[in-house]
Amino acid sequence: MTADLSAPRWALTLYVSGASPRSAEAIETVRRICDDDLAGQVDFTVVNAADHPDLVKRDHILALPTLVKHSPEPLRQLVGNLTDVARVRVGLDLDLATPVTRPPSRIPDEGALS
């Protein structure tokens, strides 16, 4: 556990394809996790893959939707619409998160790019 709670420990990028139902589901799921588990500890970005092929290449994205966990280490790609909650939690290392005691903050809007 880290002492510095001001800097977000989680850096997540969700690659989606436009407004597909699967992508919408994934965005919804990640939002919920950010609110419920990672409030104040996450930097979350949603990228529409078709608009940013360079980022898709940089992050080695193959499937959509894919949630990339840049930090904490190790780097991980969560492929799919994130319906398998148990695997998502493991994949994001949510057990490392500080339990949320206050309302969520620092969650950018869908589609915004940092």
Partner 1 sequence: MKAPKKVWGRRDCSGECCERMSNTAGPASADARVLTGPEKAPTGIKGFDEITNGGLPRGRPTLVTGAAGSGKTLFGIEFLVRGARDFGEPGVLLAFEEAQDDLVTNVASLGFDLEQLENDGLLAIDAFRLDPAEIIETGAFDLEGLFIRLQMAVESVGAKRVVLDTIELLFSALPNEAIIRGELGRLFRWLKDRDLTVVITGERGKLGNLTRFGIEEYVSDCVVTLDHRVEDEISTRRLRVVKYRGSLHGTNEYPFLITEKGLVVVPITSVGLTYEASNERVSSGIPRLDEMLSGGVYRGSSVMISGTAGTGKTSIGALMADASCARGEKALFFSFEESPEQLIRNMASIGMDLRRWVDSGLLLLEAVRPTAFGFEEHLAMLHRLLDEHEPQLVVLDAVASLTSAGARADTTSAISRDLDLLKGRGITTVMTTLTHGESQESSEVDVSSLVDTWLLLRNQESNGERNRLLFVIKSRGSAHSNQVREFVLTDDGAELLDVYVGPNGVLTGSERIEQISWEHLAQTTRADETERRRQELAQRSAALQAQMAALQAQLTAEGAEFDRFVASEAEGRASGVAVRASQGRERSGEQAGGGR
User: Rounded to whole angstroms, how far apart are CA atoms 84 and 69?
Assistant: 16
Nearest to residue 78, comparing CAs of 20, 5, 29, 112?
Answer: 29
Cβ of residue 71: shortest distance to partner 1, in angstroms? 14
Site for partner 1 (CB under 8 A): how many residues? Answer: 34
Q: Is 10 in the site for partner 1 (CB under 8 A)?
A: no
The dihedral formed by the CA atoms of 40, 69, 21 and 33, expressed in degrees to the nearest 10: -30
Q: Are 82 and 26 in contact (CB under 8 A)?
A: yes
Q: Is 5 in the site for partner 1 (CB under 8 A)?
A: no
Residue 25 burial (CB < 10 Å; 0-12/13-18/19+)?
middle
Q: Which of 38, 40, 65, 97 binds partner 1 (CB under 8 A)?
A: 65
Q: For residues 51 and 114, which CB has a smaller minimum distance to partner 1 in the complex?
A: 51
Q: Is 104 in the site for partner 1 (CB under 8 A)?
A: no
Q: Is 88 in the site for partner 1 (CB under 8 A)?
A: yes
The contact mask relative to partner 1 for 13-52 (x = CB under 8 A, - = no) is --x-x----x--xx----------------------xx--
The total of other beta-carbon atoms located within 10 Å of residue 99's CB is 6
Binding site for partner 1 (CB under 8 A): 15, 17, 22, 25-26, 49-50, 53-54, 56-57, 60-67, 74-84, 87-88, 90-91
